[in-house]
Amino acid sequence: MKRKRKIPLVVISDVHLGTYGCHAKELLQYLKSINPQTLVLNGDIIDMWSFTKSYFPASHMNVLRHIIKMSNLGTRVIYITGNHDEALRKYSDFILGNFELVDKLILDLDGKKTWIFHGDVFDSSTQGYAKILAKLGGKGYDLLILINSLINWFLGILGKEKRSYSKMIKDSVKKAVSFISNFETTAAEIAIQKKYSYVVCGHIHKPQMKDIGNEHGKVTYLNSGDWIENLTALEYKKQKWNLYHYKTEHYKDADSHEEKIVNDIVNKILS
């Protein structure tokens, strides 16, 4: 058994437990490989927009169980609410042992102020009437992930390289590219104004780590990505941030994810 990596701070976001696209098994493998002092769950961990009693498999529940176990063993777990789990916001500032539920977080990392929040406050599509359209879009995205998994399953049988068509579509749509750029700029500008050294977001499923500056200063913008397409996390150790990318070849059963989703699709069609 591999020795767990000790890390002062880990940030993950956009897990979307309760959806077909969630790579719960891979996330569990990652969580079992680390021993963080603080684990920040930066929003959209449980997808309450898509949640149904008919689909919340054991692998998804196992992720929640392991996070609770980590908390019981001494890891400080901070759950920051996002738009897909916004129902939890009415319980903000709840603390139980090593577990905290908040809307945003300010940390001091080696003398540098760090602002961590999900990021949906910058997205007008998650507000008001547009929120209904966003939820419908979320259903379509989940369906696209399902189709993508089915195609990748066949590509795997043929011995060909797997592809993320949902990611390709998002990256090719000019409005999506523009939105991501505006999102990053807006977060950075506010962080610079508030004299923060780091600003850490989720929400847009775009893992990133870069310096952004303007005439008023500079800030390091970070995004933890997601566990749908990118399978990424942010790790802070020895006064340095690293963007972790999960590699399926590190673990034996990771490639079974697509096959399980295909089985779920078939069962859903037949039921």
Quote the number of domains for the chain: 1
Q: Read off the pLDDT of each residue in 166-183 and give the average, rounded to a whole number.
A: 61
Distance CA 252, CA 249 (A): 7
Regarding predicted confidence, which is higher, 201 or 257?
Answer: 201
Distance CA 211, CA 44 (A): 25
Range of the domain at 233: 5-270
* pLDDT higher than threshold 60 for residue 68: yes
* pLDDT higher than threshold 70 for residue 100: yes
| pLDDT tens readout for residues 213-238 | 999 999 999 999 999 989 999 999 99
> Mean of the per-residue pLDDT values for the chain?
82
* pLDDT higher than threshold 90 for residue 167: no
Distance CA 12, CA 264 (A): 26
For residue 226, give the nearest of 170, 185, 161, 155 by alpha carbon. 170
| pLDDT tens readout for residues 114-155 | 999 999 887 654 454 444 434 544 555 666 666 676 766 676
CA dihedral 121, 63, 21, 55 (to 10 degrees): -100
Q: Are 232 and 120 in contact (CB under 8 A)?
A: no
Residues 6+ positions from 60 with CB-CB distance below 8 Å = 17, 18, 22, 24
* Residue for token pair 């908040």: 102
Distance CA 20, CA 229 (A): 12
The CATH number of the domain holding residue 245 is 3.60.21.10
For residue 120, give the nearest of 166, 179, 177 by alpha carbon. 179
Regarding predicted confidence, which is higher, 52 or 20?
Answer: 20
